[in-house]
Amino acid sequence: MRCQHLSTSLVAVVALLAITSTSFAWETSNPFEGVTYNKLREKDVHPILGWHTSHLSVDVFEIDMDANGISLTSTPSNGSALGETNRQTTLNFMKASNTEIAFNTSYFYTQTDGGNNNHGILASDGDLISPWGTEFPFTVWPAINITSDNNVELVTENGKNIFDYHNAVTGSAVILHNGNVIGDPNSGIHPRTSIGYNEVDNKLIVMAVDGRSSSSYGVRLSHLGTLMKNFGATWAINLDGGGSTQLTMDNGTAHYVNTPSDKYRAVGANMGVHANVDNTYTEIANFEHNNQGNFNSALTLSGSNINLSGSSNYLITTDSAAIGHASVKLELNKNNDDSGFFCRFLSGGGAAPNNTKYAADGFLGIWAKTNDADQQIAIAIDEGSDLEKSIKQDLIADGQWHYYEWQLDDNSNWENFVGNGEIDNATFSIDSILLYGEQNSTVYLDHLAHDTDESMVIPEPATITFLSLAAITFLRRSQK
């Protein structure tokens, strides 16, 4: 699809309404190919758990096991030294293993002779380091096993593994099974680490929940299972937690993404993920897992709207999606029949400080679907002193998902909103998605994304909802 060079009448801007309150939208990024990092803080988590007051910090990696460059490893044997493994902080393990993501795993203990041993199965790159266990309760503790070609299995009984142990670690309990939360609701409230698997999308889900601090309370095992289910896991296990909970990333700089309560504990076993760094592609808003992103203001908030009824609204829905399993559904209603409508769907309340800045290079695109004719879409961006808007594109009214894209460094794709009609700053943030129509309409939007390197235009299969994000990424990167 090419950008349509359409003439556009000037839109009178009544007032640009700024919001000074803090936005509680999740922060999402795509630091590696096939990997989405989700950062939830404070009230972001409360709709998932049904809480209303206490603070909570949650960090989650969604790892597509089909993506290029994805492989795993775990803590190796210490050879002839005492015990099974040498204890390391998760950050030091990540550096030593040259991985891009790392997290703590199995419970561990010190032998009488001072060596370190690990509870349950521990395997590293095909080397079986720790056996299943011979004493209760270790004989019933569950393990996750990941093969060299990225097959993933849950093992709940000794000898019941389908694959040879390759990279395997052990947890204390299954907290989510067949999509049902079975974590103990009466367990203690602590920092937690969990690993799980999305069988539908072939994704590994890794989560760290901080605790024991004024900024993050911690969770019970039932809460942990609920959080893992929200991120699409079919099943999940609880790993070592408390002061051991550590989650790290190296996307150019090796660092902790969570805040461990014990700074920083050397643990008996860690697991690491090899991934290809990708600093060009960003999902600005993907609407997955009931996440509104920064599009969390009422449709009627903007003073720039024209003939838009107060009955207009939106919701996150799983009824239809271009990529993944969710999108945002907008019901756009007119005040009267005398003219069409204009809707400025604000990001961060239309205030630049509430929105993330991106490099003003490459391409900006969004998926949309509608059955209603005579509609157009555009995107407004904030350059600091200026607001610019993209040229309008006609929405295809066939009830199918279509992709609409604009080139940031091509001034023919842009025109004046409250600016000069050119993108001449080094950075920008999203101000709003602009929708124009002649009649009351329903529009679905999905995956607003930015790539500094290349166009994200891909073929539009009729069954686009069945494509995984990894497949989408592969297709767009194959089109040079």
pLDDT (0 to 100) of residue 52 = 79
Tell me the CA distances in angstroms from 363 to 30, 50, 456, one per residue in order.
Answer: 16, 38, 7
Name the phi and psi angles at 215, rounded to 5: -95, -15
- Mean pLDDT check: name the lowest of 154-158, 175-179, 221-225, 469-473: 469-473
| Residue 455 or residue 469, greater confidence | 455
Please state, for a pLDDT cut of 70, what percent of the chain lies above it.
89
For the cut 80, the answer to whether the pLDDT of residue 447 exceeds it is yes
Q: Which two tokens stand for residue 279?
A: 């600093």
H or E element, residue 196: strand 192-198
Half-sphere exposure of 107 (CA within 13 A, CB side): 19
Give the pLDDT band of residue 3 (cuts 50, 70, 90): very low
CA–CA distance from 327 to each of 19, 179, 315, 324, 475 (Å)? 25, 21, 9, 9, 21
Confidence of residue 140 (pLDDT cuts 50, 70, 90): confident
Closest to 441 measured CA to CA, from 315, 348, 340: 340
pLDDT value, residue 458: 67
Task: Say how many Å lie between the first and final Cα of the chain, rounded.
Answer: 15
CA distance to 109, 244, 254, per residue, from 191 (Å) = 19, 8, 22
Mean local confidence (pLDDT), 343-372: 96
Of the two residues 356 and 18, the one the predictor is more confident about is 356
CB atoms within 10 A of CB 296: 17
Backbone torsion region of residue 413, taken as left when φ is above 0, otherwise alpha when ψ lies between -120 and 50, otherwise beta: alpha
Percent of the chain predicted with pLDDT > 90: 79
Predicted confidence (pLDDT) at residue 374 exceeds the cutoff of 70: yes
* Average pLDDT in the chain: 89
H or E segment to which residue 147 belongs: none
Greater confidence, 218 or 16? Answer: 218
> How confident is the model over 339-354, as pLDDT tens digits?
999 999 999 999 999 9
Q: What pLDDT, on a 0 to 100 scale, did the predictor assign at position 469?
A: 46
The pLDDT-based confidence of 476 (bands split at 50, 70, 90) is very low
- 139 compared with 59, residue with greater pLDDT: 59
Domains and CATH numbers, the chain: 34-277 (no CATH), 282-478 (2.60.120.260)
State the pTM of this model: 0.88
Q: How is residue 207 written in tokens?
A: 């989560």
Q: Which of 230-244, 290-304, 399-413 has the lowest mean pLDDT?
A: 290-304
Mean pLDDT computed over 282-286: 94
Peptide bond into 76 cis (omega under 30): no
Residue 279 has pLDDT above 90, yes or no: no
Give the Cα separation of 237 and 171 in Å (integer).
6
H helices then E strands: how many in the chain? 4, 33
pLDDT at 413 over 60: yes
